[in-house]
Every structure is written in C-alpha cells, then in structure tokens.
A and B are shown apart, each in its own frame.
Chain A
Amino acid sequence: MTISRQDVLRVAELAYLELTPEEAELYRAQLDEILNYIGKLQQLDVSNVQPMTQMAFASVEPKTFPDVSPGETEPDLREDTLQPCHIADAVLEQAPDAAKPFFRVPKVIER
C-alpha cells in the first residue's frame, strides 16, 4: 500500500476538498493503484538527465532547427506595460457575491 487513509485526508485538506468517509476510502484505493503504476518511473536511471521544465519555442524556425528540443530557447516576453481592459463590470457580474468594486467573502480577519 503506497497511500494511507491519513495521506488521502491530508491531500484533500491541501486541495481544499471536503470528502465523505466513503469517498476517502474509494479515492485511497484508486490513488493507491495509480501510484503503484506510476512507481514504474523509479526503474529509470535519471541521475544525468536535466528536467524538462518549460515548453517555449520562441522564434524557432523549422527550417533552421527542424528538431529543436523543448527548453532550448527562451520565451519571447513582451514588455510589462499596462493595457486598457474594460471588463471589470462583466467580471463582477459573474461573481456569486459582489459589492462593486469588490468580491464579498466570509470574514477572514478576526479582531
């Protein structure tokens, strides 16, 4: 057994998911099976492998680099400047509880 009921409850807490006792057991068994399968990655020797951490291919032309490997180029970043955006009202209309220009939530600060 890779994952215990205790682990499942802790992960559910981290992910902000409320689980019923039945769900906790169902997910424990399913996650256990999946994690056992995933365990096959431990068979590989990856000690000399660089992790693939990003997927940007900025400005890579296929003619010059037909097989460029992901992560070999830096992304083309735009200038970090303010752009006008007039969707605030439309966004607030989607809120379950808005008091323009704010979203309202249960009290978070006790005094």
Chain B
Amino acid sequence: MSAATPWTVAGIQTALRAKKISAREIATEFYADIDRRNPALNAYLALSRERAFAQADRVDVATACGEKLGPLAGVPIAVKDVISTAGVRTTCGSKILETYIPPYDATAVARLEKAGAVVLGKTNCDEFAMGSSNENSAYGPVRNPVALDRVPGGSSGGSAAAVAAELAVAALGTDTGGSIRQPGACCGVPAMMPTYGRVSRYGLIAFASSLDRIGPFAGNVADIAAIMSVIAGHDENDATSAAVSVPDYVAAIEQPVQGLRIGVPEEYFAEGIDSEVKEKVLAGIALFERLGCRRVSLKMPHTEYAIATYYILATAEASSNLARYDGVRYGLRVPGATLIEMYRKTRARGFGAEVKRRLMLGTYALSSGYYDAYYLRAQKVRALIARDFSEAFQKVDAILAPTTPTPAFKLGEKTADPLQMYLADIYTVTGSLAGIPGISVPCGTTKEKLPIGVQILASHFNEARILQLARAFEKAGGFTI
C-alpha cells in the first residue's frame, strides 16, 4: 500500500482533498490486497466492485468539481453479511439465503454511502449471527489474521478480520450477545456496540430483535467516532430507533478524562478468566487511574445469570424471526408433496446445526407448559441484570471489564460443545441484555502475541463517554500495554 497515505478516515480525507490520491485508486489498492490475501482469511464472502467503483467515481467527480465531500469520502468499508445491500448478494452466512439479493439498502449502509464511504463487499459471519467463533458460517470459517490457526471470534468475525488485516479501513458488524466486541477483542481492533436504538436496524436481517445492534469496527478510536456520527440517529423505518440527539463524537473524544469514576465489577474477574487476560485488563485499569480516573469497586450480583437469560431470550426471538425462511418468498426451496413437507425439508437442508439447535431451544422455551419457567422468568432476570447496571451508573461514569475470558481459541476447539462456546460470551451478554453501549479496545497481548480486549460500558446513549475514555486509553499507549 502507498506509504504516503495513512489508511484512516482522517488520513484519507486529507489525501483526497490534497488530490494526492483518488477514491478510485484507494479502492483499487484495497481490492488488489483483498484478491491476494482474502483466500487465506475468508473474511469476505462477496465483493461489490461495480458499486464500489461507481461510488468512488462520484467522490472523485465531487473532488474535481470542488464540491464539499462527505465525512467518510472514499473510505473503504466492509459490511457484515447480515446487513442488506441492494443488488449485492446477502447470505447471512447461510445456505438458505445462498442466492438472495436484497431489493433495498439497510439504513446504516445508505448513511455510510451518503457520507461518501465506499462499500467494498460483504463479510463472513456465523450463520444468522449465531456463534462466537465464525465456525458456524456455511461458507467456511474466517481465520484470525493475527494467528491463522485461531478463530477471529464471532459472529462478526469477517468484519473484525478484514479491519485487523487492513482489508478495509472500517467495517459494520452486528452485536446481539457480544458479536461485535468479542471478535474485536480476538482480532485486536476497536469495536463498538451502540446503545439499543441508537443505530437503525432497518435492513438488518433479524436474529433477536430486542438485542440486535449494528456498530463499527475500525483501526482507531477516532475512526469509530467518525462512523458513529454518520450511522447514529433516528430512522422512521425502525420504530425502535431512538429520537435522541446525536452528539459530535469526533469532537467528544478529545475531552479530558480526569476525575471520571470507573467501576470495576468483581464478578468479571472471578473464576474462569485466563490469568494473562486478567493481568492485562487490570494493568489497563491501572493506566486509567494514572490518567486521573477514580476506581470504584462494584458488585453486580446477577452477572452469573446472564448467559442463561440470554440463551433463552435470544433463541426465543430467533425462533420467531427465522420462521420466515420457509421456501416460499426467497432463498432455498426444497420441494415437498405438501406445504408443510416443503417447509420442513427446506429448513432442514437450508439451516446449519447451530441455527437448528437454537431454533429448537427457543421453540421449547416458548412452548406451552414451559413459557413461564423459561421465557417469562428470563425476562424478569433480564430486568435484574439491567437494574445491576442502572444502580452501578449511579456511582460510576463507566464500567471497565475484560471483553472475553480467554484470548482467541483454536479453530475446532469448541465446536463439539455448544455450551462451552456460549460461555465465550460471558462478559458481553450482560451489556447486551441491559441495552447499554460498550466498546472493546485492544489492551496488550498474551506472551503468544494474541490480542486481549478491555471493555468500556456506559449508561444508555452515553457513547460519547465511552469514546472519550477509549481515546484517552489509546493515546496513553493502553492498546499495547
């Protein structure tokens, strides 16, 4: 890649405006790199060259005419394959949507392009975003660019890997129980889950509607802020998107952090955490203290119930959302003598093992006789988990915790044991259930050079606070602590 242009949002804006490089040249360089390196990583499932070059040319014409460029002009971005892109194949990592081409764009994608971003292609993910390792993709696993024998995390593994391997400047992922933050930690890149309702879900192919969120991966905190400023905000096409004003995140990140109270919940450092992860995250917290933040110890007693709660609610919602894949309107159809037989055969062949497992779990939890014991009880425990957070945010401005209990594990290590795979989300599902925003940023590596992530969580709609802390941490060298 050209040494002259730093591949950041700001670097690209400067270079484009100075006419040192064109948007077409940037896209060409990224595609050349993708062609060379993607076969080993499997991060991209589809490339949208025609659309990307048309957009790059629009940016270049605007530059030549002296028009005002959007804040993401020419920035190459990858989009997780559960997010709809008009005219570009969108499979959700599933065989059941192998040939599906959406007739419209997700709002987040439309907003990125309106800001000048160039969508390079669609990234690999666990089927319907169900997984923590990317091994549930029907199109093969993504490999972690840091260590090719390891998983990139999931479910947005392709987005995390693409950014970590510099095959995109930034990427959109989705987080339902940790699917942005966990792969961000595994691949060593900043990754943000916004507040529920902050970014429109219009065009996001649903997994669990009360939990699903779209958010960015990028190489640095300023780029996360730049993308958040573009994709956040109310959308009339998503009734759950919040009519809450969006601050200027780019301006917010340079605010001083001195005097902020950071909470450290003891439950996140209890049994099950890898000793190197614990050591680095505690070192990261000590760095925040040196930056003038005040450390407050917290108890969040319902943390241990989060995985159980999450896997009832998420699978119950999925069993409803995925009822639409029946071979009638789109995707795969396997013929049957009757309509019911067609449904059963289509879904049996189209869905992979993890999706079937979750659909059965969710159907069971909602079924007559079990609803109160599972679904209703889980909704009540969700309220208790959310209350743990709202009580904590009376005392602190943000919460710091490890993103994952271990660094990226080896491919195949957990595939035979679904429950062990679910426990990889133990520190991320809590924030998902509470609806609050969070980021994972790099926090050093293990002795084997595997990335470790620290998670920063704040109260609803306080993304600016999170980004401000993340930026201070980055500036102080926390990413390589």
A interface vs B, CB < 8 Å? 3, 7-8, 10-12, 14-19, 23, 27, 30-31, 33-35, 37-42, 44, 46, 49-62, 66-71, 75-78, 87, 90-91, 94-97, 103, 105-106, 108
15 examples of A-B residue contacts, CB within 8 angstroms: A17-B347, A18-B348, A34-B311, A34-B361, A51-B383, A52-B379, A55-B240, A57-B242, A62-B462, A70-B196, A78-B239, A87-B103, A87-B104, A91-B329, A106-B338
Pairwise interchain contact B422-A16, C-beta atoms closer than 8 A: no
Partner of B360, one of A12, A39, A42, A87: A12
| Docked CA distance A57–B311 (Å) | 23
How many interface residues does chain B have, given as a range?
35 or more
Is B308 in contact with A90, judged by CB distance below 8 angstroms? no
B309 & A41 in contact (Cβ 8 Å cutoff): yes
Interface members, chain B 36-59 (any A CB < 8 Å): none
Closest to B97 in A: A94
B139: Cβ under 8 A from any A Cβ? no
Q: Is B356 an interface position by the 8 A CB rule?
A: yes
Q: Which one of B13-21, B147-155, B218-226, B386-394 is at the interface?
A: B386-394
B476 at the binding interface (Cβ < 8 Å): no
Chain B positions near chain A (C-beta within 8 angstroms): 99-101, 103-104, 195-197, 210-211, 236, 239-240, 242-245, 302, 304-305, 307-309, 311-312, 319, 323, 326-333, 335-345, 347-348, 351, 356-357, 359-361, 363-364, 367, 373-374, 376-384, 386-387, 390, 393-394, 418-419, 422, 434-435, 459-462
Q: Is the CB of A17 within 8 A of B344?
A: yes
Q: Are A62 and B459 in contact (CB under 8 A)?
A: yes
Cβ 8 A contact of A53, one of B337, B363, B379: B379
Residues in B with CB closer than 8 Å to A15 are 319, 347, 356, 359-360, 363
In the complex, the chain B residue whose C-beta lies closest to that of A60 is: B244
Inter-chain contact B196/A55, CB cutoff 8 Å: yes
Task: Name A66's contact: one of B236, B345, B356, B459 (CB within 8 Å).
Answer: B459
Partner of A41, one of B305, B330, B344, B386: B305
The minimal Cβ–Cβ distance linking A14 to chain B, given in whole angstroms, is 5
CB distance from B117 to the nearest CB of A (A): 24
Q: Are A69 and B390 in contact, CB atoms less than 8 angstroms apart?
A: yes
Q: Complex: how many Å from CA A8 to CA B361?
A: 9
Of A11, A18, A31, A51, which contacts B379 at CB under 8 A? Answer: A51
Cβ–Cβ contact B239 & A52, under 8 A:
no
Task: Decide if B460 touches A16 in the complex (CB within 8 Å).
Answer: no
